[in-house]
């Protein structure tokens, strides 16, 4: 029995909504972690924080899920390598981008990646309608009136993060088929941490490490990696790729709402319309995914 099915049997009120709840919780956790991490860039730099986050998250997940690394077959290692590479690239480019641009704008640009996955994966006209609605909401969230002030390098990094995000969605789908529960996330996080480490060492990560930085990095790892990626894997195992991608459109909306609630940033009427568009697209995608087939497992 797949993990989501066991949870549905235990919590029948949630039923098939549990994977959706998991993805939404992952989005909220990620947004909180991103804001926390950006506040620490002056201590570690974006590259150092990426490596610290992935390394600590890998240690946490390996301790919790205890995957038998020596008994993994070639198919599972292949899936983990693709997932870890996408994870590393997505996080490195994302942190480098938010060091130059506002978080909400970077998320809006990067979301073009999973949105393309949703469009390519779609087979029904109504699915394309939800993709279009999500795209409209993201367009409204971006401050296009002040494009002249944008850092072009930051925009390029955000686009690269979007491409890696699309690869993550596809690779995570395969990981969900190849591994049971959170073991796939643990192995993939380990691969991502190993791939990110050389970049961090080249940027002098060890010279910035103090007990306080390690403790802060642990908080970022929990909020931005260990918790959300475990929750996302539950969603990836149970939801179609296009539905998962459209649900991720909650990222910029929750980013705006977090700024309003925690930083007292007032939403404009246009931003409120954007949030409603994105929420509506997420709900529509969820309703349309109820009766779709689940993927078959990969061999070990």
Query: Does the pLDDT of residue 83 top 50, yes or no?
Result: yes
Write down the pTM of the prediction.
Answer: 0.78
State the pLDDT at residue 155: 85
Lowest mean pLDDT among 34-38, 124-128, 130-134: 124-128
Sorted by where each begins, the domain ranges of the chain are 16-287
Q: What is the overall mean pLDDT for the chain?
A: 79
Among the ranges given (69-73, 221-225, 244-248), the one the predictor scored with the smallest mean pLDDT: 244-248
Question: What string of H, E and C letters represents the secondary structure of the chain?
Answer: CCHHHHHHHHCCCCHHHHHHHHHHHHHHHHHHHHHHHHCCHHHHHHHHHHHHHHHHHHHHHHHHHCCCHHHCCHHHHHHHHHHHHHHHHHHHHHHHHHCCCCHHHHHHHHCHHHHHHHHHHCCCHHHHHHHHHHHHHHHHHCCHHHHHHCCHHHHHHHHHHHHHHHHHHHHHHHHHHHCCCCHHHHHHHHHHHHHHHHHHHHCCHHHHCCHHHHHHHHHHHHHHHHHHHHHHHHHHHHCCHHHHHHHCCHHHHHHHHHHHHHHCCCCCHHHHHHHHHHHHHHHHHHHCCCCCCCCCCCCC
In the predicted structure, residue 50 carries a pLDDT above the cut 90: yes
């Amino acid at each position: 029995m797949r993990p989501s099915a066991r949870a549905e049997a235990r919590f029948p009120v949630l039923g098939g909504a549990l994977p959706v709840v998991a993805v939404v919780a992952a989005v909220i956790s990620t947004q909180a972690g991103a804001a926390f991490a950006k506040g620490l860039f002056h201590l570690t730099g974006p590259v150092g924080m990426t490596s610290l986050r992935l390394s600590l998250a890998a240690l946490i997940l390996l301790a919790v899920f205890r995957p038998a690394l020596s008994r993994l077959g070639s198919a599972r290692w292949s899936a983990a390598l693709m997932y870890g590479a996408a994870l590393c690239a997505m996080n490195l480019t994302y942190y480098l981008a938010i060091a130059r641009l506002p978080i909400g704008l970077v998320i809006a640009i990067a979301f073009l990646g999973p949105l393309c996955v949703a469009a390519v994966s779609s087979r029904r006209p109504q699915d394309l309608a939800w993709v279009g609605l999500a795209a409209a909401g993201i367009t409204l969230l971006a401050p296009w009136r002040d494009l002249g002030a944008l850092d072009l390098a930051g925009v390029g990094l955000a686009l690269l993060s979007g491409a890696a995000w699309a690869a993550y969605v596809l690779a995570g789908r395969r990981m969900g088929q190849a591994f049971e529960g959170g073991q796939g996330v643990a192995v993939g996080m380990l691969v991502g941490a190993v791939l990110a480490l050389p970049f961090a060492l080249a940027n002098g990560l060890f010279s910035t490490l103090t007990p306080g930085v390690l403790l802060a990095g642990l908080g970022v790892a929990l909020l931005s990696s260990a918790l959300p990626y475990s929750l996302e894997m539950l969603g990836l195992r149970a939801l179609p790729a296009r539905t998962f991608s459209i649900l991720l459109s909650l990222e910029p909306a929750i980013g705006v709402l977090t700024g309003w609630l925690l930083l007292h940033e007032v939403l404009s009427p246009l931003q409120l319309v954007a949030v409603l568009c994105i929420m509506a697209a997420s709900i529509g995608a969820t309703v349309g995914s109820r009766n779709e087939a689940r993927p078959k497992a990969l061999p070990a």
